Amino acid sequence: MRKAWEKNIRTVVPYTPGEQPKFLEMVKLNTNENPYPPSPRVKEALDAINYENLRLYPDPACEELVAALAARYQVSPEEVFVGVGSDDVLSMCFLTFFHSGKPIFFPDVTYSFYDVWADVYGIPYERQPLNDRFEIVKEDYYRENGGVIFPNPNAPTGLLMELSEIEEIIRHNQDVVVVVDEAYIDFGGKSAVELIHKYDNLLVVQTFSKSRSMAGMRIGYAMGNKDLIRYLSDVKYSVNSYTMNLPALAAGKAALEDEAYFQENVNRIISTRERTKKELSKLGFTFGDSKANFIFATHERFQARELFEALKIKKIFVRYFNKPRIDNYLRISIGTDQEMDTLLEFLKKYVKEN
């Protein structure tokens, strides 16, 4: 029996993040973290923090981090918004931009937080089905809607859309806000940020969690027309003015000062990904041409769930989604070469013995 007060409660089915097991020894390929540490500049910046300053509130405008991002992406500071990971930024986008009452559009197979935010904020939505090669069909987004959001590359498929196709989607949706979630763009894609001066309804969201190896710091950002950024900031200041903490502001700025490390870090992941693709093919896996730091693969003989369980017993963690269309796929994050070898050795043996 529900109690009287329970009737007044906002109930939601929450987003389920990937497991964070507590083992010391494991191969963790389940949450798209970067296997390498952040730039050493980040350590220096954190070491330089005077702990006494933690008594003070951080800069609510995050001016230094915003300025560093603006310089890096050749936009003006008024065109940058920062938040506690891109989840925070995306959540603010849902709250700010998708207020028309008309359904917003996103793919049927995509980041599984989108429908959760839509539900929690009471935003209607329509899922547009990917085609049978798991590609976004741009024409599906040409109908009237209350806003559009999709990741590029898409998650968990890893498939990248060409910038020209993205521009087509934006061009057909100039009466609503289009959010391109570029959490994985640095692993081989071309950012849509260059289009923000051409389309004032485009918002590009990125994160320090993957390509900058800083998932634990929680830094995300959005770039778009200054009016969009102002609307976003107004909502943010109406929810929580001090979102980013002092260490995150310092660490984020320091990471941006080390472009060479960033490039090297990303290139290492890309080369491991391409090698892993070749090895997985030899073992009977098929997958799209991922441009992210993960591979979304299915096997010709073995059920994904069975492989997921067998790997888990060996403390090799990958992600399995028990969801329509994708319940026979594994999402395998790209780890170090050594971690990928452990995974591949196990799979080789499994395929041979079963």
Binding site for ligand PMP (CB under 6 A): 85-87, 111, 151, 155, 181, 183, 207, 209, 215, 220
Length of the chain: 354
Closer by beta carbon to ligand PMP, 86 or else 276: 86
Using DSSP, state whether 99 is helix, strand or coil.
coil
- One-letter amino acid for residue 43 of the chain: K
Closer by beta carbon to ligand PMP, 107 or else 146: 107
Closer by beta carbon to ligand PMP, 27 or else 292: 292
Closer by beta carbon to ligand PMP, 266 or else 347: 266
Smallest distance from the beta carbon of 317 to ligand PMP, in angstroms?
15
Smallest distance from the beta carbon of 156 to ligand PMP, in angstroms?
8
Exposed / middle / buried, residue 71 (Cβ in 10 Å: 0-12, 13-18, 19+): middle
Closer by beta carbon to ligand PMP, 111 or else 231: 111
Q: Which residue is nearest to ligand PMP (CB)?
A: 85
Smallest distance from the beta carbon of 180 to ligand PMP, in angstroms?
10
Question: Do residues 31 and 20 touch, judged by C-beta distance below 8 A?
Answer: yes
Closer by beta carbon to ligand PMP, 152 or else 342: 152
Nearest to 242 by CA among 90, 48, 77, 82: 82
Closer by beta carbon to ligand PMP, 294 or else 302: 294
Smallest distance from the beta carbon of 207 to ligand PMP, in angstroms?
3
Smallest distance from the beta carbon of 178 to ligand PMP, in angstroms?
15
Question: Do residues 266 and 186 touch, judged by C-beta distance below 8 A?
Answer: yes
Report the alpha-carbon distance of residue 128 to residue 108 in Å, rounded.
5
Instruction: Provide DSSP, 110-167.
Output: S-TTHHHHHHHHT--EEEEPP-TTS---GGGG-S--S-EEEESS-TTT-PPPPHHHHH
Structure tokens at 230: 């102002």
A 10 A CB-CB count for 137 gives 13
Q: Are strands 80-83 and 294-299 parallel, antiparallel or unpaired?
A: unpaired
Closer by beta carbon to ligand PMP, 150 or else 285: 150
Smallest distance from the beta carbon of 8 to ligand PMP, in angstroms?
30
Smallest distance from the beta carbon of 155 to ligand PMP, in angstroms?
4
Per-residue HEC secondary structure of 28-62 comes to: ECCCCCCCCCCCHHHHHHHHCCCHHHHHCCCCCCC
Smallest distance from the beta carbon of 14 to ligand PMP, in angstroms?
14
